[in-house]
């Protein structure tokens, strides 16, 4: 793996900043003595302290800069069109679908393969496909006007890229997404490891919710003032793989790789695997540093979780619940444990190099985004980043320039009381602080949920030049302006 050197210049500049901010700065003085003790233990403030490590160098070995290739060319045909499919409780539902299916087909390839998708738009409006979480060349990112012209009804476009990372990714339109994703346009792209760990089975659960009217069809009003004032469009029917009656039969002893995706417009899930041994092995595609207990992981729109699940004791039926709102849990699916099977013994694949970036909070902030709302705009309410509402990709100008290979620290300060799962295209990041207190999440992400009034700092090293979107993945918030573009430039 090669990560372009961050530049020695940054390193010399960073040292005084570390001494000043970590030991005496306002950020740290606010927080606990524990953290200060940590900083001291790291050698901060001592005359003999070594220079702060360059976080871009610490990234080395985490994930590759380039695709290695060497696999097959895998060609898929995808068509988006209106369809009527038995969904939710099994009654026919009018949807928009990829290849007539909701969820769309799962595209499964192996690391090293090249993915070619010949896409045709048979929808009554223009669309594109965005490959969420996949580090694609910028021109394949599916952002209308910015990376390609929108695909007109009746027109086709071929996407082609070689994934750089194995993991659980997904695809969805990036045009009028609050309508197009809600109507059923999404699917999984699974990139298997070159040598996949020998799980008994690989199971995918796509979580979604649907807002149905009295006729049990999709409520046709999109981007309503209610949705915009709250956390987007939350439905009145929750499905796993399109159905409310999903059952996963497993034998005691089986070791399953369970891949979860939240494809909802706005709803957050906290999946409760009801006492099964469930360890997080990957978040947003990439393996974690070590397996993590599932705990109360907030699966926000766009997020993926890969779980290593083993069941013990047969003859029981377990109801998997969503406990995001503890007082009002929702039923997600059922797991029926019956029979026995041998448990394959192999080490967890969660053993990735994920840098701790311990000194990172002391390095200068690259940019701060203030998340807020105001009245006005075409929908009546605008969601803003630094008082800017994104008004169509045609007029987009990057709000920030980053240098490829150089570490950056971004801050999202939520001035509103609503939820904002912030997603970045084309790169992974790591959460390094919540409300000013250092955190070391043992995994990367491409989407992080920011709660009302919360401030989150992330660290990242962009590795691909181009214009990349940064937006709220509550799709109504994004439609109402909470989007911006980052330009990643080659170093001079």
Residues 388/51, Cβ–Cβ less than 8 Å = no
Closest CA to 208 of 334, 333, 83: 333
Residues that bind ligand C2O (CB under 6 A): 130, 132, 172, 174, 302, 423, 425, 469, 471, 473
Q: Which is nearer to ligand C2O, 358 or 473 (CB)?
A: 473
Q: Which residue is nearest to ligand C2O (CB)?
A: 132
Q: Is 469 in the site for Cu ion (CB under 5 A)?
A: no
237-240 and 286-293 beta bridge pairing: unpaired
Q: How far is the CB of 482 from Cu ion (least distance, A)?
A: 5
Part in contact with Cu ion (CB under 5 A); list of ranges 193-201, 210-218, 439-447, 464-472:
464-472
Judged by beta carbon distances under 5 to 8 A according to partner kind, the member of Cu ion, ligand C2O, none in contact with residue 174 is: ligand C2O
Judged by beta carbon distances under 5 to 8 A according to partner kind, the member of Cu ion, ligand C2O, none in contact with residue 130 is: ligand C2O
Q: Is 393 in the site for Cu ion (CB under 5 A)?
A: no
According to CB under 5 A, which one of 218, 273, 472, 480 is a site residue for Cu ion? 472
Interface with Cu ion (CB under 5 A), residue total: 4
Structure tokens of 300? 């926000």
DSSP letters spanning 137-196: -GGGS--BTTTBPPBPTT-EEEEEE--SS-EEEEEE--SSHHHHTTTT--EEEEEE-SS-
Structure tokens of 228? 């915009």
According to CB under 5 A, which one of 420, 423, 425, 430 is a site residue for Cu ion? 420
According to CB under 5 A, which one of 477, 481, 483, 488 is a site residue for Cu ion? 477
Q: Residue 194 and residue 113: Cα distance in Å, rounded?
A: 10
Judged by beta carbon distances under 5 to 8 A according to partner kind, the member of Cu ion, ligand C2O, none in contact with residue 291 is: none
Q: Is 257 in the site for Cu ion (CB under 5 A)?
A: no
Q: Is 250 in the site for Cu ion (CB under 5 A)?
A: no
Q: Is 474 in the site for Cu ion (CB under 5 A)?
A: yes
Structure tokens of 346? 């192999």
SS3 per residue for 127-150? ECCEEECCCCCHHHCCCECCCECC
Q: Which is nearer to Cu ion, 431 or 474 (CB)?
A: 474
Q: Which is nearer to Cu ion, 420 or 445 (CB)?
A: 420
Q: Residue 357 and residue 405: Cα distance in Å, rounded?
A: 15
3-state SS assignment for residue 315: coil
Q: Which residues bind Cu ion (CB under 5 A)?
A: 420, 472, 474, 477
């Amino acid at each position: 793996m090669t990560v372009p050197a961050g530049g020695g210049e940054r390193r010399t500049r960073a040292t005084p900043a570390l001494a000043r901010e970590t030991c005496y700065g306002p950020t740290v003085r606010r927080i606990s003595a524990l953290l200060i003790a940590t900083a001291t233990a790291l050698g901060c403030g001592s005359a003999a302290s070594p220079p702060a490590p360059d976080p871009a160098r610490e990234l080395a070995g985490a994930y590759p800069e380039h695709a290695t290739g060497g696999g097959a060319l895998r060609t898929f045909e995808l068509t988006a069109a209106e369809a009527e499919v038995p969904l939710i409780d099994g009654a026919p539902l009018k949807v928009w679908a990829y290849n007539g299916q909701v969820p769309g087909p799962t595209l499964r390839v192996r690391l090293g393969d090249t993915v070619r998708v010949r896409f045709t738009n048979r929808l009554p409006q223009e669309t594109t496909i965005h490959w969420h979480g996949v580090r694609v060349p910028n021109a394949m990112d599916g952002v209308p006007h910015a990376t390609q012209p929108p695909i007109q009804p009746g027109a086709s476009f071929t996407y082609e890229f070689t994934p750089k990372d194995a993991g659980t990714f997904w695809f969805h339109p990036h045009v009028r997404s609050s309508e197009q994703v809600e109507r059923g346009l999404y699917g999984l792209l699974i990139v298997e490891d070159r040598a996949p760990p020998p799980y008994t089975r690989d199971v995918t659960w796509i979580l979604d919710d649907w807002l149905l009217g009295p006729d049990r069809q999709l409520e046709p009003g999109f981007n309503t003032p209610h949705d915009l004032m709250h956390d987007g469009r939350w439905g009145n029917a929750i499905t796993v793989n399109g159905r409310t009656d999903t059952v996963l039969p497993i034998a005691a002893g089986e070791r399953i790789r369970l891949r979860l995706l939240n494809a909802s417009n706005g709803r957050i899930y906290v999946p409760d695997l009801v006492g099964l041994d469930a360890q997080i092995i990957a978040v947003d595609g990439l393996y974690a540093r070590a397996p993590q207990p599932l705990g109360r992981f907030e699966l926000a729109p766009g997020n993926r979780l890969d779980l290593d699940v083993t069941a013990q004791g047969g003859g029981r039926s377990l109801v998997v619940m969503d406990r995001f709102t503890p007082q009002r849990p929702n039923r997600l699916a059922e797991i029926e444990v019956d029979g026995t099977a041998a448990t394959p013994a192999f080490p967890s694949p969660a053993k990735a190099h994920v840098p701790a970036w311990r000194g990172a909070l002391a390095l200068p902030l690259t940019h701060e985004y203030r998340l807020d709302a105001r009245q006005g705009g075409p929908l009546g309410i605008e969601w803003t980043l630094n008082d800017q509402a994104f008004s169509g990709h045609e007029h987009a100008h990057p709000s920030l320039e980053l240098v490829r290979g150089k570490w950056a620290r971004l801050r999202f300060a939520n001035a509103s009381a609503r939820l904002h799962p912030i997603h970045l295209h084309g790169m992974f990041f790591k959460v390094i602080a919540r409300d000013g207190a250092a955190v070391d999440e043992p995994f990367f992400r491409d989407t992080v949920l920011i709660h009302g009034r919360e401030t989150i700092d992330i660290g990242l090293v962009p590795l691909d030049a181009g214009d990349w979107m940064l937006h709220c993945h509550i799709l109504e918030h994004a439609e109402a302006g909470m989007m911006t573009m980052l330009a990643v430039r080659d170093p001079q």
